[in-house]
Structure 1
Amino acid sequence: MSTRPIRVATICHNEDDASDKAHRRVRVELIKEEGGGYVWRTADGSEDCSMGVHKTVRDAEIAAMQSWGADEWDLRATWRWKRGFAIESRAGLCFGFWPGETPKDALMTMFKNSGDEYGSPTAGTEDDWIIY
């Protein structure tokens, strides 16, 4: 089985100075487990990120947004495919979706599957997102 990560993100607490180059940033990677499912782990593989196993990559992306997209975190990620498009939060988080989905359909699906009735915990309206 390949150990190459499917997605990569960098996180740190905003209560610390995220712009300080000496500040500890944690690289996390989305890995496919041998038994099936997708798990976020630290880059050195030493620990999982306490989000459990996800059935799909999209479920794992949504879990990352819900866990690390809150104001106290500085989440930086770029997830793109060769085909299709990305949805990026104004905070800098990108979600990619499969070719064939329209940006509007993908955004509405993401809102429906995320934290609250308005969408993700960090994005209350469509205006909080950039689609390209």
Structure 2
Amino acid sequence: MAENEEDAFSNSNAAFGNECLSFCWFLLCSAAKGKGIKSCSAGTPDERIAGCTALIGDLSPSELAAVYDGRCWAFNLQEDYSRALKDCDMEIQLRPDYAYAHNNRGVSLEKLGRLDEALLSLKRPFL
């Protein structure tokens, strides 16, 4: 990472807490910060949903996948598992090998009572 990127990463971590740990989250937080959006990766579930939703349509596929990941988890935190599942599925279409997407999807499915599907989703990264 270039020096200015490292500074931006550090600033993103300071602004958004320790949520911006992966490079994908770094890109997402930088995009959100640059657009004046408080957060797509931290804050309350409502703040995450609003921040992530505002970014949809203006990102690369990799960044868009991170947006869906942020919203999926926020919907899970709000116990809105049907909406969470839709966002997890969108993320998996964009980034099928991302383990966290399958984990988040598994949580959504488990909470919806779809235990067999949840187990398959949770196992997927290890297959």
The TM-score with structure 1 as length reference comes to: 0.30
More strand by share: 1
More helix by share: 2
* Structure with bigger RCO (C-alpha 8 Å, 6+ apart): 1
